[in-house]
Structure 1
Amino acid sequence: MRTLLLLASALLALPLHAAQLTLDLANGARTWSTEQLLTHPQARDIDIPDDVSYKRPMHYRAVPVAALLEGVASDAHLQAVATDGFAAEIPAGPLLQKTGSQAWLAVEDPAHPWPGLSKDKPSAGPFYLVWTDPAASGISPEQWPYAVGKIRLLASVAERFPALLPDPGIAATDPVNQGFALFQKNCFACHRLNGAGDSQLGPDLNIPHNPTEYFAGDYLKLYIRNPQALRQWPQAKMPAITPQVLSDEELDQVVKYLKHMAGRKVTP
């Protein structure tokens, strides 16, 4: 009975809605609790002037991501997995930087929860990867994953998912290959292609039909620029991809990659 009472007291002492973050790296898996991260020796208060998810200035208690990636090399590849199935593929190099664009793991304090992302929606917590000076390294909105539950070390996208690869005979400088690189950075966090990918959020972009097969003319580009302008529904999740995220030239390259892959379908 005494043991049960002690256990109950310990559970009551835990912060309300405390969460856990799993880091699965080369030296094994480690779990960090909300309390451990809030009291991390390198935790500090930061201000984000133009938060990608909240669309306004935000203030956070955060830990430099580099401080959590012990033993990770700058040429490694990481994936941040959110609780809603969003899976952001991020090269380790930018995450390890200590100048210019710097990555931070914002930690939601249960005693002072963040606001909801919009009406009737939860906050970006319990863990949210944010950036100071994101423009310095061209950090895209897809590299701001929120509701993060796990960060893991993986092989590159090309190694894990060969079904995504363009024809190997195409030059590395070809717009199709440039589009493939942009696809990984800006689209792959939500979408699969040829059944390949880890995201559970958006539809496959090649199976059964590639969007270049059913969007006539420039409608695919218009849809990417502003999805709600072509297909409007309340629960839509795809954001508008502005020219600040993908220039017109880059958007052309992504579409060229998709059109190329329409001829390289692989049944899952």
Structure 2
Amino acid sequence: MVIDLGGDRNRVSRSRSNSAGRGTMQASSGRWLVSALLCASVLLGISPLFAAELIVDVGSKKTLTTEELLARPDVTTIQVPDDPAYHRAKTYRAVPLRALLGADGLPADQALQVTGTDGYVTNLPSNLVSAEGKAAVPWVAIEPPGQPWQKTPDGAAIGPFYLVWLDPAASGVTSEQWPYMLASIHAVPVNATKWPQIMVGNEVPADSPIRTGQNFFAAQCMACHRLNGGGDATLGPDLNIPHNPTEYWQPWALKALIRNPGSVRIWPEMKMHGFDASVLKDGDIDTVIAYLGYMAAHRH
């Protein structure tokens, strides 16, 4: 998110006189005060009074403000029956994500990388973003200026932008693919091309649970974690360097940690949330652990 404080857009010509110097100092002090108020509003979870900006780059970069998005002719009020952040129905003013990407959409060899201000990164495959017919439909929800969305039950402030889905079950959209606090949306190479260090070797059979675990790991875990240095997320630690969790967690404890971190350990700054069985079944978690065990012997 880029905040426009307005101070640098209308530059005041500098004079060599003392009065101009005092004016410049006053302007600087004013900008400092505005910045301080803005930072305080962020820390307190209050919506800033200034327009938030969303960067969209799928070939040509554009920066869209809250006001510009809300003024678009395709902005619509949508009803989300079961919002995973709030665990209930929610109503938003939103614009279709596909319309923001432009007429050309997203090439098949690229993914859509959605980055949050908290370091959370989600990579959405082209076939998910561009699917038509009976498929999930992605929308960018927009927090109205001066009317902040309420915090989630976990205490998170999710504005100013939030990627939400209508009919998510039609395409198997997971809870990790509902990123909030959006700052930017970029087209990037698919994981296998961009981060070969996360891929299993050719010796692993196509029907191996290790390969299945790799897919779950890429979709669910890489929103927060890296592996072998591969990935863009910064919210959680690398899960193979310097050590892999399978090397210091017993299997039952690692599985319990993934399912519900608080059942194993609680700490004040804990950010990891659990995965409900509707998102990851017990067998799915087993495949993720199998993949992690394999990668423990394949550091790059």
Decide which moves more: 87-96 or 140-149. 87-96
- Bigger CA radius of gyration: 2
State the percentage of identical aligned residues. 43
Structure 1: unaligned runs, 5 residues or longer: 9-14
Please give the per-residue CA displacement for 1:192-233, whole angstroms capped at 9, x wherever unaligned: 111221111001111111111111132111111110010112
Write the distance in 2 (CA, Å) between the matches of 1:18 and 1:169: 52
Aligned residues: 254
The equivalent position to 1:175 in structure 2, one of 188, 209, 215, is 209
Which residue number in structure 1 is paired with residue 218 of structure 2? 184
The equivalent position to 2:136 in structure 1, one of 101, 105, 121, is 101
Please give the per-residue CA displacement for 1:78-107, whole angstroms capped at 9, x wherever unaligned: 100000110101112222335431111000
Q: Secondary structure at the match of 2:82?
A: coil
Decide which moves more: 183-192 or 130-139. 130-139
Which residue number in structure 1 is paired with residue 63 of structure 2? 31
Which residue number in structure 1 is paired with residue 235 of structure 2? 201
The equivalent position to 1:212 in structure 2, one of 246, 256, 259, is 246
Which residue number in structure 1 is paired with residue 105 of structure 2? 72
Structure 2: unaligned runs, 5 residues or longer: 1-9, 13-26, 28-47
Decide which moves more: 151-160 or 49-58. 49-58
Deviation of 1:143 after TM superposition, in Å, equals 0.4
1:124 aligns with 2:154: no
Q: Secondary structure at the match of 1:194?
A: coil
Write the mapping of 1:15-30 to structure 2, written as runs, cut at 5 A.
Answer: 16-26=49-59, 28-30=60-62
Structure 2 vs 1, CA of residues 31 and 258 (structure 1 numbering), >3 Å: closer, same or farther? same
Amino acid at match of 2:281: S
Write the distance in 1 (CA, Å) between the matches of 2:266 and 2:172: 29
Q: Secondary structure at the match of 2:88?
A: coil
Please give the per-residue CA displacement for 1:89-127, whole angstroms capped at 9, x wherever unaligned: 1112222335431111000111322112357x5521111
The equivalent position to 1:229 in structure 2, one of 253, 260, 263, is 263
Write the distance in 2 (CA, Å) between the matches of 1:94 and 1:201: 24
Deviation of 1:173 after TM superposition, in Å, equals 2.4
Please give the per-residue CA displacement for 1:14-58, whole angstroms capped at 9, x wherever unaligned: x923111111112x1011111111121111001112111122221
Judge conservation of contact 2:246–2:292 (CA < 8 Å) in 1: yes
Write the distance in 1 (CA, Å) between the matches of 2:217 and 2:72: 35
Decide which moves more: 59-68 or 173-182. 173-182
Amino acid at match of 1:20: E
Write the distance in 1 (CA, Å) between the matches of 2:267 and 2:51: 34
Write the distance in 1 (CA, Å) between the matches of 2:213 and 2:223: 15
Q: Secondary structure at the match of 2:218?
A: helix
Amino acid at match of 2:181: A
Deviation of 1:4 after TM superposition, in Å, equals 7.3
Write the distance in 1 (CA, Å) between the matches of 2:130 and 2:97: 7
Judge conservation of contact 1:45–1:61 (CA < 8 Å) in 2: yes
Judge conservation of contact 2:83–2:89 (CA < 8 Å) in 1: yes
Q: Secondary structure at the match of 1:185?
A: helix
Write the distance in 2 (CA, Å) between the matches of 1:93 and 1:194: 27
